Each structure stands twice: as structure tokens, then as C-alpha cells.
Amino acid sequence: MSQANKILNVLIDHPGEYVAMPKLANAANCFAVNSRVSDLRERGYDIECKLEREGHICHSYYKLTGEATS
């Protein structure tokens, strides 16, 4: 299974919820989560990204908001 599909499966398993980037990276065994999310967007999936800052640290979260359109 591709890294993008592994990320997609985690997002599908958490409907309507933001999932932390480290959880997605761990599930897909990759560090290029943003690139894999971009691949999923190119395939038609609607995925939101949310950033939260704590001082100098930035946390990224992703949420699947829609099924593939293509």
C-alpha cells in the first residue's frame, strides 16, 4: 500500500477530526506527509490543514472533508 493510501486510511478512520501530522507520518512510515497529502488532493480528495503554534513550535493537523471528486 502506498504512503498516500496509508495516510488516507487514517483520515478515513477519523471522520470529521483533525489528525496530528506525527500520527500520519508514523502510520505511513514517512516524513513527507505534506507531499503525500498533496498527492491525495491531486487525486480529488478535499483535505484541510490546520496549524497551531506554541511559541516557536508549529503543530500540523489534517482532516478529510470530502470524498474524491474524480
CATH for 3-66 is 1.10.10.10
Query: If we measure between CA atoms, which residue out of 34, 38, 41 comes closest to residue 66?
Result: 41
What confidence score (pLDDT) does residue 67 get?
A: 73
What confidence score (pLDDT) does residue 38 get?
A: 97
What predicted TM-score, i.e. pTM, was given to this entire model? 0.89
Total Cβ atoms within 10 A of residue 43: 13
Enumerate the β-bridge partners of residue 15.
none
Q: For the chain, how many residues are written?
A: 70
pLDDT in tens, the chain (70 residues): 899 999 999 999 999 999 999 999 999 999 999 999 999 999 999 999 999 999 999 999 999 997 766 5
47 with 21: CB under 8 angstroms?
Answer: no
Which residues are CB-contacts of 18 (< 8 A; sequence separation ≥ 6)? 48, 50, 61, 62, 63
